[in-house]
Each structure stands twice: as structure tokens, then as C-alpha cells.
Chain A
Amino acid sequence: MLNAYQLLLRLYPATYRAEFGEEMAAVFEDVRTDSGHNAFAARAVFYVREIVGLVSGAFREHLHFRFNAPDVSLFPRGFTVRNGFRFPRATPILMAIILAGVILAIRKGEVIATSLPPFSQPVTPIHPAHSYLLPGVFEGFIFFYAAGLIGWAIVFALRRSGVHRLRDVSSGSK
């Protein structure tokens, strides 16, 4: 894991890496050792936080070193992974839909592949089906993945808006 971290450190400008790289890797190793006895979810959150921190930090440092730009963040304000982070309850449902979509796309691809005539006979399509049907596994995967991402973004936006807390607000009148 330390090797992967050091690999990600290469995203930083060379001067920054020379000054802080070794120290950052040592601190990462200390924190990783410290969180070794934590539950799987807590360790996953730790790794996600580190990756997000490294990528956004590298982006910021490049802007700073190249253009002397003021500090900016790659991620919107508030997009931080905290210890208390929990996936929205809709996430497993969306993931199941994505998985079902991928499986269906693969099955469909297999059916199409087995039903095709042998290559010796020329195939002349009556009409171009690919313009309105999902033609293959890859496109199917992309489609369902995008649908899942959009769904996740909607759930994330709704949670950020606090709409799920509205039911806790009582008017005080009976």
C-alpha cells in the first residue's frame, strides 16, 4: 500500500515532492498502521480520504507552482470523507440495478452472438438496429453505469439539501 501511495505522490510537482514526499509517506504509514485494527469500512474511508486528499492536493500544488494561483479545491466545498460517513440507503439499490443491467447486457450479448449466422454467409441488415438498441456489452455497461452515477448524484444532492430531515420538523400545532 505504501508503494501505491508513493506512486500517487508522483502526481505532485517535483519540488514539492522533494520537500515533503518522504515525510508524507512516513506519516501515511504511521496513520495506516494506527488504523490497522479498525473495521473494514473505517479503513476503506481512510483510503478514500487519502486518495481524494492526494489528487486534490496535487492539482492545487500544480496550479500554485505553475501559475502561482490562489488555493483552489478540485472538489466542491463540503465534499470531505469524515469518520461518520455513511452511504445513503439508496446506494445498495442503485448498485443492484447497475449490476442487474451489466448482467442483462452480457446475457443479451451472448444471445446475439449465438444467434448470428456463420460468417461464410453475408449478412445484410434490414435496418440499422444499432441506432436505437444497445448493441453490445460495453455500451450496455456504460449506459447503466451512467444511469447509476446520475441516480447517485440525485440522491447525494437531495441529502445535501436536507430534504430527508423535513419529516423531523414539527410545526408545533396539533
Chain B
Amino acid sequence: MSLEAIVDSLPLSEPVLLILVSLAGQPRHGYAILKDVERMSDGRVVLSTGTLYGAIRRLLEDDWIERFEERETSRGRQAYRLTSRGRRNLQLEVDRMKHLTRLATLRAATNES
């Protein structure tokens, strides 16, 4: 995927962004992602399993995340982690948001003065 294509896919939807942020810290399985997203958003974003796995399918397809078998648990569950492409795209999105926040803060301050 070229940089232009990545930039075209921004801004990310809030659930996708939160899933990527959740996986940026450490690899997680589906249930852990759901709980982490809920915790990070203070309960504002609560994903259903249908929404979560729809997003996971797209992220796997675009090679933003990868799947592996979690060996630490007895159940041998599938877990997910960010690929280098996913991490780079997340960074691009964070940079975009930072730029927007800076701009908004500046404009709001100018308007007040």
C-alpha cells in the first residue's frame, strides 16, 4: 500500500483507531481488545463482536495487523498484534490529529484574544 493510499484511508473511524491503539501497547486477543477499547474510551465506545471482527477482518486484509496463536493460555486463543505497516499508519493518524489539535488550539486562542 502506497503512502497516498494510506493517507486516503485517514481519518480512521473511532473504533478502528481504538483497536489499533489497544494493540500498540501489546498483542491482545478479541475479548481483551473489547475490554481495552471500553476502558480507554471510558465506556463511551462499546464494540459488539460483529463490529470488532468486521474491523479485524479489514485490518488483516490490509496487513495492518497480524494473527498468531497465543501460547501462554491453555485455550490456545488467536491473538493479534500490529504489523510495522499498522504501526506506521497509526503514527500517521496520530500526527494528523496532533496537527489538527494544534491548529484548533491556535485558532481558538486567536479568536478569544
Contacts and interface: CB of A to CB of B under 8 A. Distances in A.
Contacts of A55: 50
Interface residues of A, number: 25
Q: Report whether over half of chain B's contact residues are helix, strand or loop; otherwise say mixed.
A: helix
Contacts of A16: 57
A27 B46 contact: no
A23 B48 contact: no
A71 B53 CA distance: 13
A82 B49 CA distance: 14
Interface in B33-79: 34, 43-54, 56-58, 77-78
Contacts of A56: 50-51
Interface residue range, chain B: 20 to 34
A1 to B, nearest CB: 13
B43 A57 contact: no
A24 interface: yes
A24 B34 contact: no
Q: Which of B44, B51, B56, B58 has its CB near the most chain A CB atoms (within 10 A)?
A: B51
Contacts of B51: 53, 56-57
